[in-house]
Amino acid sequence: MEEYRVSAPEVLRKPLVVPEKLLMGPGPSNAHPRVLEAMARPILGHLHPETLKIMDDIKAGMRYLFQTNNAATFCLSASGHGGMEATLCNLLEDGDVVLIGHTGHWGDRAADMASRYGADVHMVRASKPGGSLTLAEIRKAIETHRPSVLFLTQGESSTGVLQGLEGVGPLCRANDCLLVVDTVASLGGTPFHMDRWEVDAVYTGSQKVLGAPPGITPISFNHRAVERYKRRQTKVKVYYWDMFLVGDYWGCFGRPRIYHHTISSTLLYGLREAIALACEESIPSLIARHQDCAKRLHDGLRAMGMELYAQERDRLPTVTTIRVPAGVDWLKVSQYAMKTYLVEISGGLGPTAGQVFRIGLMGQNATSERVDRVLQVFRDSIKAAKPDFVFPRSASKM
């Protein structure tokens, strides 16, 4: 008998243990029981007719949530980062000028990715930390740099900033520029109208407001983006992100379906049910619920004497950033909340690392009960990390 020198690990003889946690960070969010139940169903082949039908259901649902009639609406087998990669990879060639709107960490990440695809990268930065870009600032940057692509993050989860988009699409069209928007942390929590706002490419996260597992990313390209693809002088640099190849697998262009990769049927089930739940609730109700919960959270934080990081007019409903009070160790607060209550409260990311706490209200976690729960846990965790911390008298009643 052949000898195998590496033994099976003892740790895998033990049963799998997964604790139940309340995920009140910037994502992922807790999934609805219907999503979890759907994912327990049998695995299907990646080209079985039942799988293709589920993919078609997802396309229809995402057209509703993106508010678009784009044929090229499908999903990538990847996390939200894959959406950023795919939009830039398909729409940029060597030497193309791309303008990145910077309101936090995801502007830096997009700039890094675009440079790897050979683009000439320029930034337009928000004038104040915790603020968004004005239309005038965007216009000036477009006229200065003459980009072929403008990239904006609608919901910047590192800073809690909501970027306004109205008026940007027509401005881009007047300057022969494509508008790409990241809605990973915002879709479903704030209005988004792809067609009406003349957005050329968009992607979102499955694991945020939708409350599906990460690993499958909805994306949509309009006719202008598809035409830009057709005019490419070179092949898309990454096979896996190629819009036409993935789009043909998803049946977007009226051609026979092809094998592109082996999609996870399990992730499709979860995403399909998450989208169905959002459609049943309706976009207006979904947004109103997130905005109501955000107001409740903000009011509660202010009653505790906390200072919010994002400017009031630019606050993202789904991710709230709170300045770390002087003398408080944010990591001890976060660790205490998790160890004691199994509640996730996150620290900052990128430019806000060490400066803020981040609390997410997304999907199943955007309820008044969970807002009140995270406020109580946050207060108790600050007190545990810094016993001499003094809250306003009103906060003691929470």
pLDDT of 301 reads: 97
> Which pTM does this prediction carry?
0.96
Dihedral sign from CA coordinates of 55, 261, 185, 368: positive
Mean pLDDT for all residues in the chain: 97
Distance CA 111, CA 20 (A): 37
Q: Is residue 27 part of a domain?
A: no
Peptide bond into 26 cis (omega under 30): no
Within a domain: 392: no
Predicted confidence band at 348 (pLDDT cuts at 50, 70, 90)?
A: very high
Domain-terminating residue out of 238, 257, 279? 279
Residue-level pLDDT at 193 = 98
| Number of compact structural domains in the chain | 2
Same domain, 269 and 358: no
37 in any annotated domain = yes
Nearest Cα neighbor of 20 from 393, 353, 343 is 343
Quick check: 398 pLDDT over 70? Answer: no
Instruction: Output the domain CATH number for residue 319.
Output: 3.90.1150.10
Contacts of 354 (CB under 8 A, 6+ apart): 324, 330, 347, 348
- Do 197 and 303 have their domain in common? no
What whole-number percentage of the chain has pLDDT above 70? Answer: 98
Instruction: Give the three-class secondary structure for 75.
Output: strand
Are 243 and 229 in contact by the 8 Å Cβ rule? The answer is yes
Average pLDDT (291-316) is: 97
Domain C-terminal end among 221, 244, 279: 279
Write out the residue range of the structural domain in which residue 313 sits. Answer: 283-385
* 253/149 same-domain check: yes
Cβ pair 187, 208 in contact under 8 A: yes
Residues 166 and 297 in one domain: no
Q: Give a yes or no: residue 7 inside a domain.
A: no
Domain boundary among 279, 310, 336: 279
Pick from 333, 329, 353, 354: which is nearest to 344 by CA?
A: 333
Same domain? For 69 and 156 the reply is: yes
**Whether 254 and 298 share a structural domain:** no
Sign of the C-alpha dihedral computed for residues 190, 194, 199 and 202 taken in this order = positive
Q: Across the strands, what pairs with 122? A: 99
pLDDT in tens, 223-262: 999 999 999 999 999 999 999 999 999 999 999 999 999 9
| 105 and 240 housed in the same domain | yes
Q: Is the pLDDT of residue 292 over 80?
A: yes
Q: What CATH number does the domain containing 174 carry?
A: 3.40.640.10
Residue 353 lies in a domain: yes
* 393 appears as a binding residue in the annotation: no
The model's confidence at residue 394, banded by pLDDT at 50, 70 and 90, is low
Amino acid at residue number 247: G
Q: Are residues 218 and 299 in the same domain?
A: no
Same-domain pairing of 145 and 184 = yes
Does the pLDDT of residue 91 top 80, yes or no? yes
Helix boundaries (H) for 200-240: 223-230
295/289 Cα distance (integer angstroms): 10
Q: Is residue 22 part of a domain?
A: no
Supply the pLDDT for residue 393.
66
Are residues 314 and 254 located together in one domain of the fold? no
DSSP string covering 20-45, please?
A: --EE-SSS--PPPHHHHHHHTSPP--
| Any domain includes 397 | no
> If pLDDT is split at 50, 70 and 90, which confidence band does 392 have?
confident
Judgement on whether residues 145 and 219 belong to the same structural domain of the protein:
yes
Residue 397 has pLDDT above 60, yes or no: no
Q: Give the lowest-confidence range in 35-44, 271-280, 383-392.
A: 383-392
Q: Please report whether residue 17 resides in a domain.
A: no
pLDDT band at 2 (very low <50, low <70, confident <90, very high): confident
Distance between start and end Cα atoms, the chain: 68
Tell me how far apart the alpha carbons of residues 187 and 184 are, in angstroms, rounded to a whole number. Answer: 7
Tell me: do 319 and 267 sit in the same domain: no
Band of the pLDDT at 168, cuts 50, 70, 90?
very high
Per 3-state DSSP, what percentage of the chain is helix, strand, and coil (rounded to 5)? 45, 15, 40
